[in-house]
Amino acid sequence: MAAGNVNPFNLSDSEDEADQRAEDGAHIEKSPSVGTQGPSSNNPFSPQADAEPPALLVSSTRTSPSVEGISVSVAAAAMTVALAETRVSVDVIAAQLIRDHYILTALEFHTELLESGRELPRLRDYFSNPGNFERQTGTPPACKDQGLGPGGPLNRAGSISTLDSLDFARYSDDGNRESDERVAVLEFELRKAKETIQALRTNLTQAAESDTQERNKNYSSHPETQEPIRPLEKRALNFLVNEYLLKNEYKLSAITFSDENDDQDFELWDDVGLNIPKPPDLLQIYRNCGSALPSPRNTVDVAVGVESGELTGNYITQKSDLLQQLEYQISLLNEEKQSLADYIKKLQRCMEPVVHHKQSDCPSILTGMSILIPDHSHSLVFLSFLVHRKLSPAFQQALLSFCKMSADSRLGAEVSRIADNEESVMLMLGRCLPHIVPNVLLAKREELIPLILCTACLHPEPKERDQLLHILFNLIKRPDDEQRQMILTGCVAFARHVGPTRVETELLPQCWEQINHKYPERRLLVAEACGALAPYLPKEIRSSLVLSMLQQMLAEDKADMVREAVVKSLAIIMGYIDDPDKYSQGFELMLLSLGDPSERVVSAIHQVFIPAFAAWTTELGNLQTTLIPSLLARIEKLLKQGEHGLDEHKLHMFLSALQSLIPPLFSVVIQNAPFTHRVNLQGDIPPIEVTRFPRPASPLQDIATIVGSRETLSALLILYDYQLEHEGTTGWDSLLWVVNQLLPQLIDIVGRINVASTTCVHEFSRFFWRLCRTFGKIFTNTKVKPQFQEILRLSEENVDALTGNGILTKATVPIYATGVLTCYNQDEDRKLLVGFLEDVMTTLSLSHAPLDSLKASFVELGANPVYHELLLTVLWYGVVHTSALVRCTAARMFEWYRHPPLLS
């Protein structure tokens, strides 16, 4: 064939030639420098460079910046080989362009091959590999021995694509031309991106319009029925409603409406998601409701030539979500198609024995074959066609189309894809629950808790589990007590099932996210969840992260009910904590809670926190050595600072904490007594007297609960009283600490209290009353009363005020009278109280001392009607006394204390 008749576009693509030329191309790549010596040995288009002479390289009719970059020598070589008759395969050409680093020319070549329907694997693999275009710093441009071409490694720009990231101007001889080439590539990429965005917008708009037309048609034929609102309709109506509220000065309503629809941007109409202009406001729609509005399609420009900067990220995300949903439906349909094809093959195999059976045998055969068919309503009908009838598949499909089914939506796809195992069920629930929850009434959403928790427990995907638990904690906007209890019960069941690790990684983050939620009910749920989950958390997390979360909420939360729940959860943490270093932090939390302005919080600290903290302190051995002495030290410091004005609130705070520690203290005394080894729970154990102990503030302050049972406590009490009455306190260190250290220190503190402070007198009186009642009558008579009597010294030889009776004017008198002598109300106890008051009256009268202590005793006792008659007896004693001073004191007491029941 003559050279002039060679058609440069007639390149053969037969398999034999392609294989042969691929081998030639591989040989060329392997030995680029091997060839016949001569002036053209380095020319890739010379006859000596390849096993067969190449065909003429002719540029495409399309304009390409890369063609202009071909050197003159290459063009001359191409003209030389134009006379050759043997054609070169496209693979050889591609290999040569890549080897000589003519990247843009290779790209143009690759594009033309794609347009003609002939994709070349070499070019496809090259341009799809980002590693071919990475910049390697420090590499010189002429690195041909490394296979990088004459231009060296290519540069990487900030684009997500591969070709637009090439820096062609770095090693170019003509920087301006290469910059223009890069601009051309970027413009091409931008044009492709615009086309993709435009296609998505158009697709969504058409889908919405067709859906609207279909629903309008249904409404016109069946106006009494109304379909549920679609997401796009809901977003459009929400936008118009918010606009109406703002225009008409309903600002608070607009704010609330915006909060309830926080997934929508009400400042941008494009966030609705439709490629149509914003409709008129609600007022114009109402005024024009009787006339048809113009169709948006007659006036709107469907975003032709839209700029990428005009589209928001949310808009593109919505289009991507729609595309993913369509792809998901296609995959479901393909799976169903494959499944039906398999069933058809099975049925065809079962058809052969059917022909040989009688007509009466057909029902049994149908029954046997029905197990091969999935649970679809039309499958048995289809089977009967195959067995009894000879209908064409097209006719059968057309006939079945009259069965109204919906598999072209997300819900339809889920319905038609019935799960056949546990994992499929979990996956299906994980997909469906996020769509079910928003459509359930708020008052009934707790019914979803079992489904959500079961799915969250068993779902294999961590991301889906996190979404389900997020739904659980956000299920109800402001959950009430019953709803919170349901959620907490579910959380505990989840924790019990999955173990500490998943509780830490999956449940705790949900709590942390809502620790500063605007609704107090949600923060309350977090506070309660921390306590409920405490037994199922790793001990390190329990004593660090959870403790810090609760401490933050206690210090910062403004809602009383939240802080109350925090205190209770902290108490549970104290019941499980085992890090001794956290003792000081627990003590500070106790003091912080005691100073809370809310009565609910203070009540919770006494009922729950202090008993739990005292139990842990007892285990550490710090109750008598650290905790109680710390409170006493603070009380003494407060009294020293308050010589000119006592802070009664702080005194009440410390003393009330000390009073809540009496039951744990008594439990320590009887459980560490010398007689504990003699406790015998066998046989008849007498019940504990109902009035033996003061009524506990909570079950945690019940001594029977602390020691284990009422039987154990009863057995210990019998041995306790016997030990005190007959055997003494030798070797009983815990009780000796109470007798020799605690009581003297308390009596000394009482002696420094100003008797005019009725609040302090009342607080200490109640403290001593509970102490004496708890430790028992024998302890009170043998250990408490003697120490007070030694201090007061009411004998006749100490009548002179100058011999040390100043203590009679302090708070010791009313506290002893009302806190110790009133603990028991038998005849001998009442006689002892009357005698003490008469002696005080006599002593103060003969000593010419102030009567404030006696008045304080009358005030405290007079508050209880039980003691009115007793006080009259004391006053009558003064009236008939032989000393005029005592009679004057009695008269002043009558005149000062005018209590109607007392004088009646």
String of DSSP letters for 370-385: GGGS-S-TTHHHHHHH
* Contact assessment for residue 36 and residue 62, using Cβ atoms and an 8 Å cutoff: no
Q: For 134-230, where are the alpha helices, taking DSSP H only?
A: 175-221
- In this predicted structure, what is the pLDDT of residue 403? 65
Q: Which residues contact 601 (CB under 8 A, 6 or more apart)?
A: 560, 563, 564, 567, 593
**Per-residue pLDDT at 26 exceeds 70:** no
**Per-residue pLDDT at 709 exceeds 80:** yes
DSSP state of 848: T
Q: Considering the chain, what is the average pLDDT of its residues?
A: 75
* Contact assessment for residue 43 and residue 73, using Cβ atoms and an 8 Å cutoff: yes
* Contact assessment for residue 219 and residue 203, using Cβ atoms and an 8 Å cutoff: no
* Contact assessment for residue 258 and residue 265, using Cβ atoms and an 8 Å cutoff: no
CA gap 798, 789 in Å, rounded: 13
Q: 45 pLDDT band (50/70/90 cuts)? A: very low
Burial readout 654-674 (b: 16 or more C-beta within 10 A, e: otherwise): bbbbbbbbbbbbbbbbbbebb
The H or E element that residue 92 is part of is helix 90-99
Between residues 303 and 675, which one has the greater pLDDT?
675
State the average pLDDT over residues 512-530: 92
Cα distances (Å, whole numbers) of residue 187 to 73, 164, 181, 182, 510: 31, 9, 10, 9, 46
Q: Of 206-215, 567-576, 746-755, which range is least confident?
A: 206-215
CA gap 437, 474 in Å, rounded: 10
Q: Give percent of the chain above pLDDT 70.
A: 67
Cα distances (Å, whole numbers) of residue 529 to 486, 487, 523, 777: 11, 9, 10, 44
Q: Which of 8-22, 60-74, 410-424, 528-542 has the highest mean pLDDT?
A: 528-542
* Contact assessment for residue 28 and residue 96, using Cβ atoms and an 8 Å cutoff: yes
* Contact assessment for residue 867 and residue 861, using Cβ atoms and an 8 Å cutoff: yes
The residue assigned the tokens 């118009």 is 240
- In this predicted structure, what is the pLDDT of residue 32? 38
pTM, rounded to two decimals: 0.56
* Contact assessment for residue 731 and residue 623, using Cβ atoms and an 8 Å cutoff: no
- In this predicted structure, what is the pLDDT of residue 198? 67
At how many degrees (to 10) do helices 812-819 and 785-792 cross?
Answer: 150
- In this predicted structure, what is the pLDDT of residue 571? 93
Q: For 222-290, where are the alpha helices, taking DSSP H only?
A: 231-247, 251-260, 282-287
**Per-residue pLDDT at 332 exceeds 70:** yes
- In this predicted structure, what is the pLDDT of residue 173? 47
Q: Of 5-9, 198-202, 213-217, 557-561, which range is least confident?
A: 5-9
Pair of tokens at residue 664: 């744990």
Alpha-carbon torsion angle 285, 289, 295, 300, nearest 10: -10
State the average pLDDT over residues 197-219: 65
Pair of tokens at residue 839: 């002696």
Pair of tokens at residue 736: 């000796």
- In this predicted structure, what is the pLDDT of residue 843? 86
What is the residue type of 36?
Answer: T
**Per-residue pLDDT at 377 exceeds 70:** no
CATH of domain 477-609: 1.25.40
Closest CA to 211 of 434, 398, 407, 409: 409
**Per-residue pLDDT at 183 exceeds 50:** yes
CA gap 846, 805 in Å, rounded: 11
State the average pLDDT over residues 863-871: 87
* Contact assessment for residue 416 and residue 377, using Cβ atoms and an 8 Å cutoff: no
At how many degrees (to 10) do helices 758-775 and 852-862 cross?
Answer: 60
Q: Which residues contact 75 (CB under 8 A, 6 or more apart)?
A: none
DSSP state of 261: T
Pair of tokens at residue 865: 């009607």
State the average pLDDT over residues 83-96: 74
- In this predicted structure, what is the pLDDT of residue 568? 93
Closest CA to 569 of 653, 626, 634, 484: 484
**Per-residue pLDDT at 825 exceeds 90:** no
Give CATH 1.25.40 domain extents, the chain.
477-609
**Per-residue pLDDT at 366 exceeds 70:** no
Pair of tokens at residue 184: 């051309």
CA gap 8, 93 in Å, rounded: 13
CA gap 690, 703 in Å, rounded: 13
**Per-residue pLDDT at 524 exceeds 50:** yes
- In this predicted structure, what is the pLDDT of residue 643? 67
**Per-residue pLDDT at 210 exceeds 70:** no
**Per-residue pLDDT at 211 exceeds 90:** no
CA gap 421, 400 in Å, rounded: 28
* Contact assessment for residue 705 and residue 646, using Cβ atoms and an 8 Å cutoff: no
Pair of tokens at residue 842: 């006599």
* Contact assessment for residue 681 and residue 634, using Cβ atoms and an 8 Å cutoff: no
Cα distances (Å, whole numbers) of residue 775 to 512, 665, 701, 735: 45, 10, 14, 10
